[in-house]
């Protein structure tokens, strides 16, 4: 969910840890290493960044996640706690489970996958949205080229009567990311998921300039709000293992479609 929560400040030392690399004693969630299942398959040689939204422990670290970071020419909080179903099932856990499913499917197709976080832990927080956006970019942490694609996975927290998925692209990078957004929308619909009833005027597409994860990414990137976790029907699907597998299969299919052109 992309709502701003508590506003607190962060000291200089902790801010430095966010951007330089946190020491072993901190609990920031560091990005995982690249991984690939094999050197063969239809996506061999392609690299995909998967960003599971939030982190399960974010709520325990309000000072860190509310520190201001550059979200693309303006400041926003480092991260948020995310939303949850009315029964308390966290968005961070939903995003993580779907992301792992997408990762495994893409690896099976030969792709190299970079995860922006490697755990779903109550003892960890972050990474910040600017870091999530930069992971996979050429020049970030020594990369010599951009990754091919980035997918940021979320669940929304809207009014209970709203339901369905929507796909978000950055305003400044609409032209390069919209084809991937259309592939993502089509794949989710083929899997039986319904377009948002409250975002995008029936298109389930949203163009925004306020999201650091999208603004900092230098490759085609989409953010998906896969449903409204406050809607009873969406929540049943989103918290179920079968629903999470359907989401993962559809998202992996969309990435393959885009990368196979």
Rg (CA), the chain: 17
Sign (positive or negative) of CA dihedral 3, 174, 47, 70? negative
Listed residue (46, 38, 97, 72) closest to 238, CA to CA: 97
| SS3 label, residue 167 | strand
On whether the CB atoms of residues 218 and 137 are closer than 8 A, the answer is yes
Active site residue 91: no
Q: Where are the beta strands (DSSP E) in the chain?
A: 35-36, 47-52, 68-70, 75-77, 112-115, 149-156, 166-170, 205-208, 221-228
Determine which one of 225, 252, 253, 259 is catalytic: 225
Q: Please state the separation of Cα 9 from the chain's center in Å.
A: 24
- In angstroms, the CA 157 to CA 160 distance is 8
Strands of 166-170's sheet in order across? 35-36, 112-115, 47-52, 149-156, 221-228, 166-170, 205-208
Whose tokens are 């390069």? That residue is 176
> Which residues are 152's β-sheet partners?
51, 223
How far, in Å, are 1, 10, 38, 152, 244 from residue 222 at the CA level? 14, 29, 26, 6, 18
Catalytic residues: 225
């Amino acid at each position: 969910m992309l709502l701003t929560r508590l506003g607190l400040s962060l000291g200089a030392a902790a801010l430095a840890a966010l951007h330089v690399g946190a020491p072993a004693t901190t609990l920031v969630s560091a990005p995982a290493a690249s991984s690939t299942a094999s050197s063969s398959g239809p996506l061999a040689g392609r690299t995909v960044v998967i960003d599971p939204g939030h982190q399960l422990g974010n709520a325990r670290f309000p000072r860190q996640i509310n520190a201001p970071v550059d979200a693309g020419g303006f400041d926003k909080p480092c991260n948020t706690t995310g939303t949850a179903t009315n029964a308390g099932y966290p968005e961070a856990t939903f995003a993580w489970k779907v992301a792992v499913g997408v990762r495994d499917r893409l690896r099976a197709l030969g792709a190299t996958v970079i995860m922006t976080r490697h755990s779903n832990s109550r003892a960890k927080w972050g990474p910040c949205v600017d870091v999530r956006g930069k992971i996979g970019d050429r020049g970030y942490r020594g990369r010599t080229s951009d990754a091919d694609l980035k997918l940021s996975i979320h669940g929304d927290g809207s009014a209970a009567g709203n339901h369905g998925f929507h796909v978000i692209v950055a305003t400044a990078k609409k032209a390069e990311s919209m084809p991937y957004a259309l592939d993502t929308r089509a794949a989710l619909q083929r899997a039986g998921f319904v377009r948002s009833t409250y975002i995008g005027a029936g298109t389930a597409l949203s163009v925004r300039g306020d999201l650091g994860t999208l603004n900092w990414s230098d490759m085609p990137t989409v953010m998906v709000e896969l449903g409204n976790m406050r809607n009873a029907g969406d929540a049943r699907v989103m918290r179920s293992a079968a629903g999470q597998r359907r989401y993962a299969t559809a998202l992996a299919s969309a990435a393959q479609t885009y990368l196979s052109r």
